[in-house]
Amino acid sequence: MSDLWGLNDEGFGDVQRPSPIGPRGDTIPEELLEGLNPPQREAVVHRGPALLIVAGAGSGKTRVLTHRIAGLLATREAWPSQILAITFTNKAAAEMRERVDRLVGEESRGMWIRTFHSACVRILRREAEEFGFKQSFTIYDSGDVRALIKRLIKERGADIQGLTPGGVSSRISMAKNELHDVDSWARTANLDNPLDAAFLELWRDYDRELRRANAFDFDDLISQTVFLFRAFPHVAAQYRKRFRHILVDEYQDTNAAQYALIRELTQPVSRTDLPDLRADLPGASLTVVGDSDQSIYAFRGADIRNITDFERDFAGARTILLEQNYRSTQNILSAANAVIGNNFDRRAKRLWTDSGDGEKIVGYTGYSGYDEAQFVADEIVELTSGGMSYSDIAVFYRTNAQTRALEEVLIRTAIPYKVIGGTKFYDRAEIKDAMAYLITVANPADPLSLRRIMNVPKRGIGPATEAALQAFADEHEITLRDAMRRVDEIALGPKVAAAIKDLAALLDHWSSQPEADPGELLRDLLSRSGYTDQLRRSLDPQDAARLENVEELVAVTREFRRQNPGGTLIDFLTETALVAAADELDDSGGQVSLMTLHTAKGLEFEAVFITGVEEDLLPHRISAQEPGGPAEERRLFYVGITRARQRLHISLAMTRAQFGEVSPAVPSRFLEEIPAELVDWRTPPSTVRPSPQRALAGRWRDEPRESFVTGFREPKALPKAPPKQFANTITEVRDNSGLELAPGDRIRHKDFGEGRVQAVTGAGAKRIAEVLFGSAGRKRLLIKIAPIEKLG
Ligand SMILES: Nc1ncnc2c1ncn2[C@@H]1O[C@H](COP(=O)(O)OP(=O)(O)OP(=O)(O)O)[C@@H](O)[C@H]1O
Ligand SMILES: [Mg+2]
């Protein structure tokens, strides 16, 4: 096999070498144990088949894992290639690698520190041909999956009423996470139920389409690896022999498929499966760390029983508890403990800290989501003028929709921020187009990507032509791409036929060069296909931004190649398909991080804001109907609270705009669970009636004026939808670039009224004015877009 995927250097050779126990002997160097408390130390030095570390948030679980890995390397008990460490996000993996590097030098190269998904992609790519796939398989993301299911539903028509793409895809996902395939599921289902029967047919079609397209969905990555190991014992044996030490972080969030994978990998290796083995090998040693109070992925099939049953499942397992928290102040910890104490059915933990009480938690109730956001911004200004840097601060929310008000206020206040996850770069239409070109080149069998770009930019290949191509492909049992090549055999107009031939030739040209530089390839594809030209010539101002985004993608591919010399298109696509939400985190940038509570797992910040602590948001409305839903939401709140080291802010609003409607909000039940003496509740600037400017501001931001005079207890009826002309005016087109401002100038701000400029810093589009307002105090404003006018 060629080393197209760069796998051969990854240690399968290493295991042929003699045992790595070297001249340095087997005691762990003292510097690796320094600064660890006794149970942490014990966890690092323990040797045995299975070790479980259960402990509350911030007690050093991840730190212990890192030191354990470093210990295994330093004592030469293991080659780097014999270690498999599983983290929850790629970001966490990168962080862990960095920490291990810091502890043991460059030794971690060749070691697998990966997420479940990325470890499985590696294995599947390596073994694909063993079970009838091509190495170049595509990974379908949730958008692709839904598009495919939507098409299948449409094709099958009326007999499956009641099935939606979203519903079907999450049901298939759940089943796959439970390690079901279509047939095993069929045996447990009640097929007299027409809906179930229809679902089953749809699932069957779906899987068939995936196979035809040489594609996997995300859940397949793990379940197919498990099936592969079960079906091919000699393949499983290679990996069992290779990975002698397996370590898993955030174990409470593993689902059945992931659990099965761990079981497979930790089985003993027998000479029957690997004849060149000198003697049978015992199973790998397994270390898992977790906290059942932080289990927040039940909706994806995570099962806390994986933790509670660990000792039963893994014979000879040892359990170590950690109780000292090194992250948060006592006030924050007390709040966390009190909240989680309301969940039944849990093993109580005594988490303590010796870092002192610290500041009280700050609470705030805004009139609206916008007002709440203003509070967040004001506090951030306060914290940073006290010496904290932006990157020490994070703002959490339950749903992505909540970012709108936050982002707007942060922009206006000139606070640099970064949204982690949400509408991601890779979700934008133009980026999906460009990626579709790349995927089509890499995997010519994939019709989904090919369909996406077939007529983008427009080249006269309409739906009828596409249908003709597809019919030809079906008839001859060839791929859509093959059909394009044989377009002469299909009765089509000469112009269309020529366009199809050109496109096929362009794609084939690059498909035949799998080792090409992805950056060069992308640039050439976009230019020769006419994609960039079409954006460049367009009169739509949005297209300028789209062009920038596409160019940004070219820059990303270049950067990829720089960091991975020789990295191929497949390598690039593998990386990008796996970019998880938390992975975009960039600590260097000095930006406030905005993210959902789910994304925040495992991370820590000096100061944390948890926003929207309201019924229907936290706990989320959907969770109320599900058994165990509110308890899971409480764990999510617990995860949020325990991310904070020094300062914690919790906030809510009296009214909340959602789905274009403004409705009264009710404080979350979780708020009452925090002991009152721990919270310093701040009141909004005006508790009776907001200033006219404020009311106006609300109206201008599509929240009707009425919302500002509505109290909690007796909400007045609120208008259903904002007037049309106010909808979507969030970022009003405004450009003050030319506005000259100097210290001493008087200005009027749409929300804050009159104020005096204290200082002007920055240049160009990033000029910032610091202004002292009579009622609102000191504010930092981005001059270019702030709603201000200069007073004479
Ligand atoms: N013995 C120790 N001495 C000093 N600091 C420590 C010690 N153990 C852990 N820490 C620090 O405490 C913080 C929390 O540790 P870590 O992230 O490993 O906790 P965790 O248990 O994995 O938390 P979570 O449950 O949130 O994932 C980190 O900043 C870590 O460096
Ligand atoms: Mg951790």
In the CATH scheme, what is the code of domain 332-421+591-681? 3.40.50.300
Contact present, 233 and 264 (Cβ < 8 Å): no
Token couple for 677: 């003496």
Other residues' Cβ atoms within 10 Å of the Cβ of residue 419: 21
State the DSSP H helix or E strand holding residue 72, giving kind and residue range, or none if neither: helix 61-74
Separation of 102 CA from ligand 2 center, angstroms?
Answer: 18
CA 680/CA 657 separation, integer angstroms: 26
**Fold annotation for 138-213:** Arc Repressor Mutant, subunit A (1.10.10)
The per-residue b/e assignment along 625-648, b for 16 or more CB within 10 angstroms, e otherwise, is: eeeebbbbbbbbbbbbbbbbbbbb
Question: For this structure, is 61 an active site residue?
Answer: yes
Q: Which of 40, 41, 62, 217 is catalytic?
A: 62
* Residue linked to tokens 């701040």: 682
Domain range annotation of the chain = 30-130+222-324, 138-213, 332-421+591-681, 425-582, 745-791
- Which DSSP string do the residues of 248-295 spell out, in sequence order? ESSGGG-BHHHHHHHHHHTS-B-TTT-TT-SS-BPPPEEEEEE-GGG-
Residues 6+ apart with CB under 8 A from 175: 185, 203
Please provide the CATH number assigned to the domain covering 425-582. Answer: 1.10.486.10
329 belongs to the catalytic site: no
Cα angle: 648, vertex 652, 657; to 5 degrees: 140
64 CA to middle of ligand 2, Å? 9
**pTM given for the model:** 0.76
- Residue 57 is labelled as binding a ligand: yes
Burial class (CB in 10 A: 0-12, 13-18, 19+), 406: buried
Give CA–CA dist 456/295, Å, rounded: 43
Give the Cα separation of 770 and 759 in Å (integer): 5
Question: Is residue 58 lining ligand 1, measured as CB closer than 6 Å?
Answer: yes
Pairing, β 605-610 against β 138-140: unpaired
294 is an active site residue:
yes
780 lines ligand 1 (CB under 6 A): no
- Structure letter (DSSP) for residue 669: G
Amino acid at 36: L
Average pLDDT per block of 10 residues along the chain, 792 residues long: 36 44 62 92 94 94 94 90 89 83 78 91 90 85 85 76 85 93 90 87 93 91 95 94 96 93 95 89 94 85 82 89 95 95 82 92 92 94 91 92 81 82 66 91 91 92 92 93 94 93 95 91 93 83 73 80 85 71 47 90 95 93 82 95 97 80 87 95 58 35 28 30 30 61 89 88 76 83 79 83
* Sign of the dihedral defined by the CA atoms of residues 142, 146, 152, 158, in that order: positive
Q: How far apart are alpha carbons 166 and 552 in whole angstroms?
A: 31
CA distance 596 to 357: 27
pLDDT at 685: 59
Pocket of ligand 1 contains residue 334 by CB under 6 Å: no
* Gap between the Cα atoms of 674 and 679, Å rounded: 8
Atom 8 of ligand 1, nearest CA residue: 60
Q: Is 60 annotated as a binding residue?
A: yes
Segment holding 781, helix H or strand E: strand 777-782
User: Is 55 marked as binding a ligand?
Assistant: yes
Torsion sign, CA atoms 163, 169, 173, 174? negative
Q: What is the DSSP letter of 218?
A: H
Report whether residue 326 contacts ligand 1, using a CB cutoff of 6 Å. yes
62 among known catalytic residues: yes
Give, in order, the Cα–Cα distances in Å from 286 to each of 51, 289, 788. Answer: 6, 10, 61
Among 1.10.10.10, 3.40.50.300, 3.40.50.720, 3.20.20.70, name the CATH number for the domain at 30-130+222-324: 3.40.50.300
Q: Whose CA is nearest to atom 16 of ligand 1?
A: 60
Our answer to whether residue 784 is catalytic in this structure is no
CB 185 within 8 A of CB 173: no
* Nearest of 297, 395, 294, 278 to residue 346 by alpha carbon: 294
56 annotated among ligand-binding-site residues:
yes
Please state at what angle helix 541-563 crosses helix 569-577, rounded to 10 degrees.
Answer: 110
Tokens standing for residue 750 = 């749409």
Query: Cα separation of 429 and 347, whole Å?
Result: 47
> Are the CB atoms for 605 and 393 separated by under 8 Å?
yes
CB 422 within 8 A of CB 392: no
- CA dihedral sign of residues 199, 203, 209, 212: negative
CB 751 within 8 A of CB 690: no
- The residue whose CA has the least distance to atom 29 of ligand 1 is 327
Q: Which sign does the torsion angle of CA 354, 249, 609, 582 carry?
A: positive
The verdict on whether residue 61 carries a ligand-binding annotation is yes
CA dihedral 418, 419, 423, 426 (to 10 degrees): 50
Distances in Å between the alpha carbon of 325 and those of 88, 343, 674?
A: 21, 20, 19
- Is the shortest distance between the CB of 602 and ligand 1 below 6 Å? yes
Q: Is the CB of 40 under 6 A from ligand 1?
A: yes
HEC per residue, 166-186: HHHHHHHHHHHHCCCCHHHHH
Q: So what's the pLDDT on residue 541?
A: 59
**Cα-to-chain-centroid distance, residue 84:** 22
ipTM for the predicted complex: 0.99
Closest Cα to atom 18 of ligand 1 = 60
Say if residues 439 and 573 touch (Cβ distance below 8 Å): yes
Residue whose Cα lies nearest atom 13 of ligand 1: it is 327
Instruction: Supply the residue whose CA is at minimum distance from atom 1 of ligand 1.
Output: 36
Does ligand 1 come within 6 angstroms of the Cβ of 60? yes
What is the number of the ligand 1 atom nearest to the C-alpha of 322? 21
Best mutation site among 59, 252, 307 for ligand 1 pocket (most ligand atoms within 8 Å of CB): 59
Distance in angstroms (rounded) separating the CA atoms of residues 606 and 583: 19
Task: Tell me if residue 151 is catalytic.
Answer: no
State the virtual CA torsion across 150, 155, 156, 159 in degrees, nearest 10. 80
107 burial type by CB count under 10 A (0-12 exposed, 13-18 middle, 19+ buried)? middle
Phi, psi of 710 (to 5 degrees): -90, 125
Q: Is the fold of 138-213 the same as that of 332-421+591-681?
A: no
Residues making up the chain, counted from first to last: 792
**3-class state of residue 596 by DSSP:** strand
389 phi-psi bin (left φ>0, alpha ψ -120 to 50, beta other): beta
Nearest to 117 by CA among 313, 291, 300: 300
Q: Give the 3-state secondary structure of residue 783.
A: coil
User: Do residues 293 and 57 lie in contact, with contact meaning Cβ atoms separated by under 8 Å?
Assistant: yes
Substitution candidate for ligand 1 out of 41, 62, 247, 296 with most atoms within 8 A of CB: 62
